[in-house]
Amino acid sequence: MRGEPSLPNEPTGNLATALQHAARLLVSRPSLAVAQAREILKVVPDNPEALALLGEAEGRLGESGAAIRALSRAVALKPDLAGAWRALGDALTMAGDSAGADAAYARHIHASVKDPQLLQAAAALCENRLAVAERLLREFLMAHPTDVAAIRMLAETGARLGRYEDAEKLLARCLELAPGFDVARHNYASVLYRENKQAEALAQTDLLLAREPRNPNYRSLRAAALARIGDHVQAIACYEAMLQDYPDQPAAWMSYGHTLKAVGRQGDCVAAYRKSIALRPALGEAWWSLANLKTFRFTTPEIAAMRAALARADISDEDRFHLQFALGKALEDAALYAESFDSYLQANALRRAGADYNADEISDHVRRSMALFSREFFAARQGMGSDAPDPIFIVGLPRAGSTLIEQILASHSAIEGTMELPDMASIARRIGGKKRKSDVSTYPEMLRDLKAEDFSALGQEYLTRTQIQRWLGRPFFIDKMPNNFAHVGLIHLILPNARIVDARRHPLGCCFSAFKQHFARGQNFTYSLTDLGRYYYDYVALMSHFDRVLSGRVHRVIYEQLIADPEEEVRRLLSYCGVPFEDSCLRYYETDRAVRTASSEQVRMPIFKDAVDQWRHFEPWLEPLKTALGPALTAYPDAPAL
372 by Cβ neighbours in 10 Å (0-12 / 13-18 / 19+) ranks as: middle
Mean pLDDT on 620-637: 96
Can you list the alpha helix ranges (DSSP code H) found in 412-506? 423-432, 452-466, 488-494
Could you report the per-residue pLDDT of 554-604, keeping only the tens digit for each?
Answer: 999 999 999 999 999 999 999 999 999 999 999 988 887 565 555 545 555
CATH code assigned to 386-634: 3.40.50.300
pLDDT of residue 596: 52
CA dihedral 579, 584, 590, 592 (to 10 degrees): -40
pLDDT band at 22 (very low <50, low <70, confident <90, very high): confident
Angle ∠(441,446,169) on CA atoms, nearest 5 = 55
The kind and range of the H/E element at 134 are helix 130-143
* Residue 109 CB contacts under 8 Å (≥ 6 apart), including other chains: 122, 125, 126, 149, 152, 153, 156
User: Residue 434 has what pLDDT?
Assistant: 63
58 vs 490, which has greater pLDDT? 490
Distance separating alpha carbons of residues 622 and 393, to the nearest angstrom: 31
3-state secondary structure at position 600? coil
In the chain, ranges of CATH 1.25.40.10 domains: 1-112
What amino acid occupies position 599? S
* Mean local confidence (pLDDT), 421-427: 93
Instruction: Express each pLDDT in 124-152 by its tens digit.
Output: 988 989 999 999 999 999 988 998 889 99
Per-residue pLDDT, 436: 60
The string of DSSP codes covering 553-592 is SEEEEEHHHHHH-HHHHHHHHHHHHT----GGGTTGGG--
DSSP reduced 3-state for 188: helix
Q: 3-state class of 411 per DSSP?
A: coil
- Cβ neighbourhood burial of 437 (10 Å; 0-12, 13-18, 19+): exposed
Amino acid at site 1 = M
Residues 6+ apart with CB under 8 A from 492: 378, 385, 498, 500, 550, 553
pLDDT band at 29 (very low <50, low <70, confident <90, very high): confident
Whether the CB-CB separation of 121 and 153 falls below 8 Å is answered with yes
Q: Are 155 and 167 in contact (CB under 8 A)?
A: yes
Residues 291/598, Cβ–Cβ less than 8 Å: no
Interval 431-476: pLDDT, tens:
987 666 556 789 999 999 999 999 999 999 999 999 999 989 999 9
Q: How many CA atoms lie within 13 A of 156 on its CB side?
A: 28
pLDDT score for 4: 39
Q: Which helix (H) or strand (E) holds 11?
A: helix 11-28
Question: What is the predicted pLDDT for the residue at 17?
Answer: 87
Distance CA 273, CA 87 (A): 25
d(CA 125, CA 85): 15
pLDDT of residue 592: 73
- What is residue 6's predicted lDDT score, i.e. its pLDDT? 41
Residue 437 has a pLDDT of 59
- Would you say 262 and 594 are in contact if contact means Cβ atoms under 8 Å apart? yes
Rounded-to-integer distance, Cα 343 and Cα 147, Å: 49
Q: Write out the H or E segment, with its range, that includes residue 208.
A: helix 198-211
CA angle 466, 470, 476 (to 5 degrees): 90
| Distance in angstroms (rounded) separating the CA atoms of residues 395 and 481 | 6
* Cβ atoms within 10 Å, residue 206: 12
Compute φ and ψ for 264, nearest 5 degrees.
Answer: 85, 15
Alpha carbon distance 83, 71 (integer Å): 10
Residue 63: predicted pLDDT: 81
User: At 161, is the secondary structure helix, strand, or coil?
Assistant: coil
pLDDT at 7: 41
Residues of the chain with CATH 3.40.50.300: 386-634
Low-confidence winner among 14-28, 130-144, 407-421, 561-575 (lowest mean pLDDT) = 14-28
Let me know: does 572 contact 579? Beta carbons within 8 Å.
Answer: no
C-alpha span between 395 and 555 (Å, rounded): 10
Chain segment 158-209, per-residue pLDDT in tens: 998 888 999 999 999 999 999 999 999 999 999 999 988 999 999 999 999 9
- Which CA distances in Å does 382 have to 61, 103, 376? 61, 52, 10
Q: Which helix (H) or strand (E) holds 232?
A: helix 232-245
The pTM (predicted TM-score) of the whole model is: 0.84
Q: In what order do the strands lie in the sheet with 554-558?
A: 415-419, 476-479, 391-396, 499-504, 554-558
pLDDT score, position 100: 86
Give the chain's mean pLDDT.
91
Examine the pLDDT at 376 and tell me if it is beyond 90.
yes
Give the model's pLDDT for residue 337: 97
Question: What pLDDT, on a 0 to 100 scale, did the predictor assign at position 613?
Answer: 82
Amino acid, single-letter form, for residue 604: R
Centre a 10 Å sphere on the Cβ of residue 232 and count the other Cβ atoms it contains: 19
* CA 29 distance to own-chain centroid: 35
89 residue type, one letter:
G
Which of these, 517, 429, 446, lies nearest to 196 by C-alpha position?
A: 429
Residue 535 confidence (pLDDT) above 70: yes
> Which of the four pLDDT bands, split at 50, 70 and 90, describes residue 537?
very high
Q: For the chain, what percent of residues have pLDDT higher than 70?
A: 94
Q: Is the pLDDT of residue 420 over 70?
A: yes
Residue-wise pLDDT for 203-255, tens only, equals 999 999 999 998 989 999 999 999 999 899 999 999 999 999 889 889 999 99
Give the closest residue to 495 by CA, choosing from 453, 445, 460.
460
In the three-class reduction of DSSP (H, G, I as helix; E, B as strand; rest coil), residue 393 is classed as strand
Contact between residue 80 and residue 73 where contact means Cβ atoms under 8 Å apart: no
Question: Using CA atoms, how far apart are residues 378 and 356, in angstroms rounded to an integer?
Answer: 34
> How long is the chain?
642
pLDDT the model gives residue 19: 87
The rounded distance, in Å, linking the Cα atoms of 60 and 53 is: 11
Q: 40 vs 16, 50, 62, 484, CA distance in Å?
A: 10, 7, 22, 59
Assigned CATH topology for domain 1-112: 1.25.40
Which of 41-50, 304-313, 548-557 is the least confident region?
Answer: 41-50
